[in-house]
Amino acid sequence: MKPMAPAEIWLSSQKINLLVLQVALLAGVMLLGGCGGDEPKSAGGTVDAAASDGAADGQQADTAAPVTSGTFIALTYNVKGLPDAITGWDTADHMKQISPLLNGFDLIGIQEDFVAANHAHLAKDVTLTHKDWYSDKLPATKDVPKAYGSGLALFSHFPALKTGHTHYAGCVGIFDHASDCLASKGVMFTRIALSDHPDAVLDVYNTHMEAGGGKEDNAVRAEQVDHVIKLIEENSKGHAVLFMGDTNLRPSKAVDKTQIDKLDKAAGLVDACAAVTCPETNHIDRFHFRSGDKVKLTATSWKNEKKFIDDKGKDLSDHPAISTHFTWKLK
């Protein structure tokens, strides 16, 4: 089956007027000044649209001026949100336990969030303001049934200026090859406002790619990498980009490393793990990033988060939760 052009299957888009955002923030600053209150503080220890440029360093700054630099912590996490019969545990309970733990991050890409009831548990205690769940399923055919949507979700402390979703065209396996064809895997796109400055935008891509290690799986993953490259080319020209998700690409495998290198070269991305010389280089849950014409994006640290465990110390998913700390500044 020939994949459709990503631009043809882009499903949704929403825009937020930056001028309205700037006016609202300015009005809030004037109100605080009139009441003699304290300057706003960043949420979760990061600099956001309401924080001063020097807030992370404890410096005083004029909050009336647009913010031109800041920091944030991003997380990618495959939560294994499948039915209990597949996971072998109480999936709803795991989602309930994961939910409050997500509030320690500013930008979160979720994978395998397949079931509506479980998604509700996952999102319930998340206080981040932007929440998006890509639940749309591809049409089932006689040969390829579709039980689930993409399983992708995104939570963000930053406001979304534009969102979009697209499915991958290919898959391998219904009851073999990791049963990828039961899901409608794809990509979430979110353009976020890092601050009230009109140039402070970041294009975020969250994905879950084909699993399985056979030749057919490798071929489908190669097509999916091409799909992502085309999306970035068509939608993010000149923009800073953060790509994250469960890629099912393992650097220790030559066939996978070829695809990782192709993605980085074609889209101008940098592996965040390599950029900070992280201690665990062979994960399939990954961050790749680049700066844009107006925003410089830098990875400063990488971490395998260990807090996503139950009260007995057992992991809440079969994947690690991987975080990366980023700094950004306008050029």
pLDDT for res 135: 95
What backbone phi and psi angles, to 5 degrees, belong to 165? -140, 145
pLDDT for res 144: 84
Whether 316 is covered by a domain: the verdict is: yes
Report the mean per-residue pLDDT for the chain. Answer: 86
Q: Characterize 240-253 residue by residue with b for buried, 16 or more Cβ atoms within 10 angstroms of its Cβ, and e for exposed.
A: bbbbbbbbbbbbee
pLDDT in tens, 282-299: 999 999 999 999 999 999
pLDDT in tens, 190-199: 999 999 999 9
160/122 Cα distance (integer angstroms): 20
Whether 232 is covered by a domain: the verdict is: yes
The tokens describing 306, both together, are: 């260990």
Whether 111 is covered by a domain: the verdict is: yes
pLDDT in tens, 26-84: 444 333 344 333 333 333 333 333 333 333 444 455 566 999 999 999 999 999 999 99
The tokens describing 317, both together, are: 């998913």
37/20 Cα distance (integer angstroms): 23
Three-point CA angle 171, 175, 177, nearest 5°: 50
pLDDT for res 223: 98
Whether 56 is covered by a domain: the verdict is: no
Whether 54 is covered by a domain: the verdict is: no
308/99 Cα distance (integer angstroms): 10
CB-based contact 91:84 (threshold 8 Å): yes
The crossing angle, in degrees rounded to 10, of helices 215-235 and 254-267 is: 10
- Domain carrying residue 246: 68-330
pLDDT for res 60: 52
CB-based contact 44:103 (threshold 8 Å): yes
75/204 Cα distance (integer angstroms): 12
What confidence category does residue 132 fall into, taking pLDDT thresholds of 50, 70 and 90? Answer: very high
* Cα separation values, 309 from 289, 313, 318, Å: 28, 5, 11
Is residue 301 over pLDDT 80?
yes
Beta-bridge partner residues of 204? 190, 242
CB-based contact 291:218 (threshold 8 Å): no
How many C-beta neighbours within 10 Å does residue 274 have? 15
Number of domains in the chain: 1
pLDDT in tens, 254-288: 999 999 999 999 999 999 999 999 999 999 999 99
Number of residues in the chain: 331
Whether 26 is covered by a domain: the verdict is: no
Strand 295-305 and strand 321-330: pairing? Answer: antiparallel
CATH number of domain containing 307: 3.60.10.10
How many C-beta neighbours within 10 Å does residue 112 have? 25
Strand order in the sheet with 69-78: 130-134, 152-156, 107-111, 69-78, 321-330, 295-305
